[in-house]
Amino acid sequence: MRQVVLDTETTGLEVEQGHRIIEIGCVEMVNRRRTGNTFHQYLRPDRDIDSGAEQVHGISNEALQGKPRFAEIVGELLEFIAGAELIIHNAEFDVGFLDNELRLAGRDGDSVRGHCQVLDTLLLARRLHPGQRNGLDALCRRYGIDNSARDYHGALLDAQLLADVYLAMTGGQAALSLDIVPATEVAGAVAPRFDRAGLSLVVRHASAEELAAHERQLDLLEKACPQGAAWRRRDG
């Protein structure tokens, strides 16, 4: 399963007022593991950045001089996200801006959802934590994820943090199905007998990579659960 965590920064909050994307950051995950592949680009918006927006992301008009326009990088972006599930926090905001940029780049009728499925982690967080703060900083604190480098919002940094938040939010074990009835409980059924003579038990040990991944998950549980990870507790 391929997923891409995506975030944008913009000149202001309202796409209807002509605001534009000035930064895009994407982080690739395959089978719930980061691959190390990223997409990151600053963009020239051809309009001024609102002062309030600049205070949030720290990107100035001067810093974007000479950067490419969205139309120049749209092919590379679409190639990176093609076929993936996009993971976005407050997806309607980012998708709305991206769809507007596609239109301005001459791709009428094209849309983000035409290339990808979209999962909104804000909606997911609201279901998991109703009535609580569910911004990215609040979720980082809740799940014990270090966001100390987030002095300003940044598309790539926020995508990296959101990847950790998403994995923590969805890291619980799937429920086991109870619909299958053992054959011994079915009326009239006879449990089969097997000749175990000469059989030996094959033991398969976890690889170093699997053990390390297990320890990372336990670290997340230690931070998120007041009682710590049950696997690390010892009686007496």
Give the phi and the psi of residue 168 in degrees, each rounded to 5.
-70, -40
40, 153, 205, 214: which one is catalytic?
153
* pTM, 2 dp: 0.71
**In whole angstroms, what is the distance from residue 20 CA to residue 48 CA?**
9
Q: DSSP states of 153-167 as a string?
A: --HHHHHHHHHHHHH
Q: Are 45 and 68 in contact (CB under 8 A)?
A: no
pLDDT at position 208, please? 73
pLDDT computed for residue 228 by the predictor? 56
* Cβ(44)–Cβ(65) below 8 Å: yes
CB atoms within 10 A of CB 19: 19
DSSP 8-state assignment for residue 152: S
Domain ranges across the chain: 2-169, 207-236
CB 61 within 8 A of CB 67: no
According to DSSP, the residues that pair with 23 across neighbouring strands are 9, 42
153 has catalytic annotation: yes
In sequence order, the β-bridge partners of residue 42 are: 23
Q: Which two three-digit tokens encode residue 204? A: 């398969």
pLDDT (tens, 9 = 90+) of the chain, 236 residues, equals: 999 999 999 999 999 999 999 999 999 999 999 999 999 999 999 999 999 999 999 999 999 999 999 999 999 999 999 999 999 999 999 999 999 999 999 998 899 999 999 999 999 999 999 999 999 999 999 999 998 988 889 999 999 999 999 999 998 433 333 333 343 333 333 444 445 555 555 566 777 767 766 776 766 666 555 555 555 554 43
- 161: CB partners within 8 A, 6+ apart: 136, 140, 145, 147, 150
CATH number for the domain whose boundaries are 2-169: 3.30.420.10
